[in-house]
Amino acid sequence: DEYYIANAAGEDLLQKSVNAKRDFVFDVVDEIIKPVLTELNREGVEYIQLDEPAAAAKPHESELVVQSVNRAVKGLSSKVAVHICYTNYKALFPALLELKADVLSISCSNADTQMLGIEPEKRKGFEILKVFRDYSCKFKIAPGLIDVHTDFIESPELVRDRLLYAVKVMDDPGKIVACNDCGLRTRSWRVAHSKQLNLVEGVSMVRKMF
């Protein structure tokens, strides 16, 4: 902090602090993250995912979040997915519109009900998709169809209905990618495996409908 603030440009301490954080973040991108992504890209990796667990913790820094991701993925031929954990996604707009990603992975099921059906009151966790639809985001959306913070094992039918509702909201099956809310490391192997099996089966049900 002291190093970057001492070397930052700005008329006052606040501006120096803002510029110092930007310089620090960009150095982390250039010196640590970018070299790893470049090597993965060189190896022919099809998809590279970047996780940002606290993107909306400080909404006024949403532009910096987007700028740092864009800086990290610039020049890659691999497809890029960005995962942003449980947050107020609305707070990231309009900065998020400039995100240079193929897919944005978001959490939905943790805020959803466990009832079957595609009625809005049953799919409360997926209402946020309307914001992405209304902003006409260029990237695909990967709404979490599996809640990773519970041992409740979603049935294939529940996965199906969540996915169908997501497609209904976005009005384009091609804009949706099926995934989990987040990582499954807090779940047992048995629970995680069962959740993934049902995720695949539920998605297969939907594919047969289109």
Of the pLDDT bands very low, low, confident and very high (cuts 50, 70, 90), residue 155 is very high
User: What CA dihedral angle connects 108, 198, 83 and 165, to 10 degrees?
Assistant: -40
Indicate whether 4 belongs to any domain: no
Considering the domain boundaries, does residue 85 fall inside one? yes
Residue 118 placed within a domain: yes
Per the model's pLDDT, the better-predicted residue between 181 and 13 turns out to be: 181
Say yes or no to pLDDT of 12 above 80: no
Q: Is the residue at 202 inside a domain?
A: yes
Assign residue 105 the CATH number of its domain. Answer: 3.20.20.210
Q: Confidence class of residue 1 from pLDDT cuts 50, 70 and 90?
A: low
How many structural domains are present in the chain? Answer: 1
Q: What pLDDT, in 10s, does the model give residues 165-197?
A: 999 999 999 999 999 999 999 999 999 999 999
Residue 122 within any structural domain of the chain: yes
The rounded percent of the chain whose pLDDT value lies above 70 is: 96
Give the residue numbers spanning the domain of 106. Answer: 50-67+79-207
Residue 11: pLDDT band by 50, 70, 90 thresholds?
low
Residue 14 counted as domain residue: no
Residue 43 lies in a domain: no
- On whether residue 15 sits in a domain, the answer given is no
Listing from the earlier edge strand, what are the strands of the sheet with 140-143?
47-52, 79-84, 103-106, 140-143
Q: What is the pLDDT of residues 88-104, one digit of tens each?
A: 899 999 999 999 999 99
